[in-house]
Amino acid sequence: MLYRYRIIAALGLILAVGSGPIRSAESPLRNSTELQKRTARTSDDVDKYAIQLERTERALFSLSQSRPKELRKRYESFLKEVDNLQKAQEHATSAIHEMASKGTEYFLVWGKSIDQIVDPKLKQVSMERRSTLMKDHDDLAVTLAGIGSQLQPFMESLRDLEAFLGADLTPANVSQAGEKIRNCREDARALRDRIAGVQGTLRQFLNEASR
């Protein structure tokens, strides 16, 4: 009987060793795919924000140039574009945070996967590839966070104009808000220029990650 138990135990040990490491539920491939999806979504949402930013800036310019008869209509158009910009901002900000979070998770899982590689050459190649992509992702995340920090102050300036003009919508008040309107338009153009650079970086990261 003892001999049988020893055979069974030995077989169990052989099977355990021969089966290799159990695959973790944290699959690097799945995390890689998810990161690419979230980066693509971030790229789309940033594109949509940039488009809406331009529309809002145009509506602001139209409001500043409106005649008395057109004032209410152009103010309402401005309100609509600001509300749409708020929604675009929320989508873009959420996508940026999710992409950064998924990137952190992906590179952590990738690091654990590298620890399981025995072949020195394959391990080195994987380490170098991970290091390159991780740096690109971190640089992108920092840039996006920098832009993201500018969105809410810009939105607050637009809401100030909305409240100021909404309380007393007259040509005289539009004239009083002239400097604020000009500043908002300048901020919108500067923000759009910065976003244009990030849009290219996002597409470049997506291409690099899919190679």
Give the start-to-end residue ranges of the domains of the chain.
29-209
The CATH class of 29-209 is: mainly alpha
CA-closest candidate to residue 147, choices 191, 97, 101: 191
Residues 6+ apart with CB under 8 A from 180: 157, 160, 161, 164
Q: Are 172 and 33 in contact (CB under 8 A)?
A: no
Tens of each residue's pLDDT in the chain, 211 residues: 544 444 333 334 333 334 444 444 467 788 888 888 999 999 999 999 999 999 999 999 999 999 999 999 999 999 999 999 999 999 999 998 899 889 989 999 999 999 999 999 999 999 999 999 999 888 888 888 888 888 999 999 999 999 999 999 999 999 999 999 999 999 999 999 999 888 888 888 888 877 7
Q: Residue 67, by phi and psi: left (phi above 0), alpha (psi -120 to 50) or beta?
A: beta
Give the Cα separation of 133 and 130 in Å (integer).
Answer: 5
Whether the model clears a pTM of 0.85, i.e. scores above it, the answer is no
